[in-house]
Structure 1
């Protein structure tokens, strides 16, 4: 849907822009000339009503002219600066909840055209720990949101619900790094659940960012379903150049890079940076209202995303 809306917005802005230019540089001078001719043929000053009729713009011209500045602003804002998204699932709990409305910074990772998504300005690249929105590699019409775990060249192991990272070797390093376990600290039980199963909350100390994750200790990792990469073990992932490895913070309820592989750099949409609205949808079956109608606003969730 986001792709189709971008195309629609570009087409609408282009059409309105052409009409705006045509009116400004062709039709408007013609109307002014018509007014001047009428004034020259009249001995007295033309009334305001007559002037308004002569300068009147047809509705099919006036409407695009009036809305062009607005939709042009929306196009620039949405394409190059910030775009709103809604969180549709619980794969990023506890960082993001179903019903959160977020802003995605599209400038941080470079400027792209809104249709073909070709990058024309280099700005920066994701850092380990960033929460990113990207085009799902299996179906690029779908937007996903996950956390960056591995950068190009990194080796990642997710074993026994523990995360190990070996950062990429570079020419500037005399020795390659070894695998380091990402330390987790117990926070609480029972704050979140998956059906009737209580989830355990931990604080994960990533190399760049500290954030909370959820783990279902009653199920084993689905290693048999992990993405199979040639030359590595099932629970080990070597991030190719120009790609990123991502995971959901809700570790046992997230369809992420463990199962389908890596995110190409060109699929990145931007960094999730702010929750600007958050709704509750806790409505039971006895309610006459549909489930998509909010039951409340979670004001305490508004703010920056970590």
Structure 2
């Protein structure tokens, strides 16, 4: 799952700083100036009305209490450029805090996580379950749960942190992950799976074998294409951090997951660029846990919790 060309979090942070600066100046200077000007104008109009009354002259409608109040309100009104800066600060602050510390939306662009997630799914990612982090710098503020096997996570791609990916954790720190002849084995124990019919891919117009797989406490579905080779397409990948922990062969691979890192794979096992190709995901790169599909404009059947 690729991120937009512009870093939206950075853009939102810049807007937060700009609108926040205008909000501070508005609160402690501009608004006080308008209040002083409005009060002075209202006082001048009332004084004028009193002077006319002393002279026995009936004041016109412009000096009525209603018109004086209207004139005061007009002077108190924010100019348009403050409405679009200081006025937007609370909204931008709310969105920034929500996206940074509670939940962030993402869109699924590819089929690498089918059948769990399909292209066009709009998902929500829990930003606090693994601990709160400072936006942009990603330093941890609080401790949280440890990512578990079976969790579907969004993370910054190790080889290009400007890009966000979504995959499923299959190996946690210290695990030995083997995927040979299209069978997943964790620490020498085969991962339970059973056939679950076929899956039709409308994009490729091909049927794939579907299985139910149990990773940790998570039961989910995976796709396997019996026509695809068991080995990593393109041969063993090039260099990546801790590349020496992996061994590739004609049947697949075996990797020992380093401490502080995770091994991830797509549920569409034969159509996913994942840890088999570019290595381990550092814990620092994890954005959060994907937990809900809230919309897909191409179809509503996938809306619901992510397993």
1:78-227 equivalences in 2 (<5 Å): 78-166=99-187, 179-192=188-201, 195=204, 197-223=206-232, 225-227=235-237
Give distance in 1, aligned partners of 2:245 and 2:12: 45
Higher Cα radius of gyration: 2
Match for residue 18 of structure 1?
21
TM-score, normalization by structure 1: 0.85
Aligned to 1:304: 305
* Larger displacement relative to structure 2 (115-124 or 227-236): 227-236
The within-5 A match list for 1:259-278 is 259-278=277-296
- The CA RMSD over aligned residues, in Å, is 1.9
CA contact (8 A) 1:134 1:269 kept: yes
The alignment of Structure 1 onto Structure 2 pairs a total of residues equal to 277
Aligned to 1:233: 247
How has the CA–CA distance of structure 1 residues 277 and 256 changed in structure 2, closer, same or farther, with 3 Å as cutoff? same
For 2:83, which of 49, 52, 62 is the aligned residue? 62
Contact 1:146 1:249 in 2 (8 A): yes
**Aligned-pair CA distance for 1:227:** 4.4
Q: Distance in 2 between matches of 1:201 and 1:50?
A: 72
The reply on whether 1:246 has 2:247 as its aligned counterpart is no
5+ residue gaps in structure 2?
Answer: 50-64
Q: Which runs of 5+ in 1 are unaligned?
A: 167-178, 281-297
2:159 and 2:39 map into 1 onto residues whose CA distance is: 63
* 8 Å CA contact 2:265, 2:272 repeated in 1: yes
What is the Cα deviation at residue 208 of structure 1? 2.1
Tell which deviates more after alignment, 106-115 or 30-39. Answer: 30-39
- Answer whether contact 1:197 1:216 (CA < 8 A) is retained: no
| TM-superposed deviation, 1:196 | 5.0
Whether the 8 Å contact between 1:225 and 1:259 is mirrored in structure 2 is no
In structure 2, the residue matched to 1:4 is: 7
SS at match of 2:21: helix
Shift of 1:25: 1.5
The 10-residue stretch of structure 1 (231-240 or 17-26) with the greater mean CA deviation from structure 2: 231-240
For residue 160 of structure 1, report the CA deviation from its aligned partner: 0.6
Residue number in structure 2 paired with 1:283: none
- SS of the residue 2:258 aligns to: coil
Structure 1 residues 27 and 231 mapped into 2: Cα distance closer, same or farther (>3 Å)?
Answer: closer
- Superposed displacement of residue 231, structure 1: 5.5
